[in-house]
């Protein structure tokens, strides 16, 4: 029989809750003061404590702190008649599992008690129904045991022996930059690794970002600026989202790759470059070539060694290792100590399709880690980290966050509505060129 201790200086609440708990099959205990409550708590093993935040002889938060000091794993439900944000925050930081306002909704209280008991039950099984998350993953940025990932590891080893150009293809969130960094680090990490997102910079500025500019080259060029090719000299230049680069810029990049030299914008001096280029894209460049959106000669220049990173849904056997790695990482960032995950929760994570791939999985785990008290990630806590927890109790339906493409499409639609469809005005608002806007309108099939 589960034991529940109620600590409240309102005797009527203690008596009514005690009666309710007895009728529901619990073994209740009541205390009318902080002193009495602490004495009873220390004298008996309680599964759940229901604690009022304002007691006649002490502050409930101080009582909570003393309870957690005596038993860090104690399941404490705080109750209060006041809607005070700062008090709620302090209670949760001190380790309260739930926080319920008066007048008490008995269904809400029962649900809270059940969550506490499930948490305690999973913690007491010593491995039954839970999976350990410690000790299997080394401190590395790329995790996986699936056949595709093993092949990628082999490719990294082979490619890192030279400065061969590499093309990495895969959906957003699959970790393409991590692979590029791994190739660079295993080649010579003492040399610079410089990255640039080709889709995030307006075409007119991208040339300056890549090749640099001379003072006075254009309005606002008040000093000489070195470009990414100069900064990455002898090292690696990572060109992300290559599929978004305009045909005009593709010509200039191809020339640099062929001649191994370039000029700053507004300059005449030929600058030699010794840079390994690693390009990445979430599109198939071969398909873009067929559509006339990407130069075939540049494609072959880039596609010396091709690495395809499969989406998470196609390598589900990697998800448990990724969960372990990400939880360990989040423990360090969030000062948590999560060492186990409910087996059903882990299986539910494996079953999801993860349209946002590893980035989305990390976001889910981050939110769940923040909400977790103790050392076990529970399925219902992970479900709360979804967009609509009520509609996703088994984690299988609703993705946590929109993909970058979805966000970008909405942003463009908002700008189009704001500018009443005036594309010139939209380009000004978004800081992009007309060709770039047109490509994105076609990419997202936006009706204008």
CATH code of 422's domain: 1.10.10.60
E strand or H helix that includes residue 355: none
Catalogue the E-assigned strands of 247-388. Answer: 261-262, 271-272, 276-281, 305-309, 340-342, 376-377
Instruction: Write down the pLDDT at residue 237.
Output: 96
Q: Are residues 101 and 21 in the same domain?
A: yes
Written as six digits, the tokens of 347 are: 């299986």
Tell me, yes or no, whether 291 and 430 share the same domain. Answer: no
Total residue length of the chain = 448
The answer to which of 149-153, 196-200, 444-448 has the lowest mean pLDDT is: 444-448
Predicted local confidence at residue 389, as pLDDT: 42
- 39-42 long-range CB contacts below 8 Å, 24 or more apart? 40/5, 41/5, 41/7, 41/67, 41/70, 41/71, 41/74, 42/70
Residues 283 and 160 in one domain: yes
pLDDT in tens, 274-285: 999 999 999 999
pLDDT at 299: 96
Pair 20, 104 in one domain: yes
Q: Do 290 and 160 share a structural domain?
A: yes
Q: Which position has the token pair 């944000």?
A: 85
pLDDT-derived band at 135, boundaries 50, 70, 90:
low
Burial 1-36 (b: 16+ CB within 10 A, else e): ebebbbbbbbeebbeebbebbeeeebebbbbbbbee
pTM, 2 dp = 0.66
Q: What is the pLDDT of residue 391?
A: 35
> Where residue 313 falls among pLDDT bands split at 50, 70, 90?
very high
Does one domain contain both 297 and 326?
no
* Residue 216 sits in the same domain as residue 334: no
Number of domains, the chain = 4
CATH number at residue 113: 3.40.50.2300
The CATH number assigned to the domain holding 270 equals: 3.40.50.300
Do residues 48 and 162 share a domain? no
Domain assignment of residue 112, given as a range: 3-124
At 192, is the secondary structure helix, strand, or coil? coil
pLDDT of residue 238: 97
Instruction: Provide the pLDDT for residue 398.
Output: 38
Cis previous bond, 103, omega within 30: yes
High-pLDDT (> 90) share of the chain, %: 48
| Residue-level pLDDT at 28 | 95
CA angle 309–314–320, rounded 5-degree value: 95
pLDDT at 222: 83
Mean pLDDT of the chain: 86
**Domain shared by 229 and 326, yes or no:** no
Residues 376 and 437 in one domain: no
């Amino acid at each position: 029989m589960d034991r529940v201790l109620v600590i409240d200086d309102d005797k009527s609440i203690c008596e009514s809750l005690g009666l309710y708990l007895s009728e529901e099959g619990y073994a209740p205990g009541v205390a009318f003061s902080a002193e009495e409550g602490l004495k009873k708590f220390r004298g008996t093993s309680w599964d759940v404590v229901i604690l009022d935040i304002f007691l006649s002889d002490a502050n409930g938060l101080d009582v909570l702190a003393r309870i957690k000091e005596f038993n860090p794993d104690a399941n404490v439900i705080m109750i209060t008649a006041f809607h005070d944000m700062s008090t709620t925050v302090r209670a949760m930081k001190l380790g309260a599992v739930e926080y319920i306002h008066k007048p008490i909704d008995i269904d809400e209280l029962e649900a809270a008690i059940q969550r506490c008991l499930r948490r305690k039950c999973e913690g007491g099984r010593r491995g039954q129904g839970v999976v350990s998350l410690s000790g299997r993953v080394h401190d590395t940025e790329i995790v996986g045991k699936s056949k595709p990932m093993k092949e990628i590891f082999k490719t990294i080893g082979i490619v890192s022996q030279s400065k061969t150009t590499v093309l990495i293809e895969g959906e957003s969130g699959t970790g393409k930059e991590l692979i590029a960094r791994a190739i660079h680090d295993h080649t010579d990490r003492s040399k610079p690794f410089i990255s640039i997102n080709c889709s995030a910079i307006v075409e007119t500025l991208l040339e300056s970002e890549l090749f640099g500019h001379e003072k006075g080259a254009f309005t606002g060029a008040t000093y000489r600026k070195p470009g990414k090719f100069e900064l990455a000299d002898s090292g690696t230049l990572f060109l992300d989202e290559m599929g978004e680069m305009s045909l005009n810029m593709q010509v200039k990049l191809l020339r640099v790759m062929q001649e191994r030299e370039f000029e700053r914008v507004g300059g005449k001096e030929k600058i030699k470059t010794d840079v390994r280029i690693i390009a990445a894209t979430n599109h198939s460049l071969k398909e873009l070539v067929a559509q006339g959106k990407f130069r075939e000669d540049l494609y072959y220049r880039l596609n010396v060694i091709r690495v395809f990173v499969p989406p998470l849904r196609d390598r589900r056997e990697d998800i448990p290792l990724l969960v372990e790695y990400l939880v360990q990482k989040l423990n360090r960032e969030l000062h948590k100590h999560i060492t186990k995950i409910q087996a059903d929760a882990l299986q539910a994570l494996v079953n999801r399709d993860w349209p946002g791939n590893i980035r989305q999985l990390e976001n889910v785990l981050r939110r769940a880690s923040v909400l977790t008290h103790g050392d076990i990630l529970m399925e219902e806590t992970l479900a709360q980290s979804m967009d609509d927890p009520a509609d996703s109790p088994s984690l299988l339906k609703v993705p946590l966050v929109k993909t970058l493409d979805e966000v970008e499409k909405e942003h463009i639609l908002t700008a189009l509505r704001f500018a009443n469809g005036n594309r010139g005005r939209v380009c000004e608002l978004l800081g992009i060129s007309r060709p770039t806007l047109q490509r994105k309108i076609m990419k997202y099939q936006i009706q204008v």
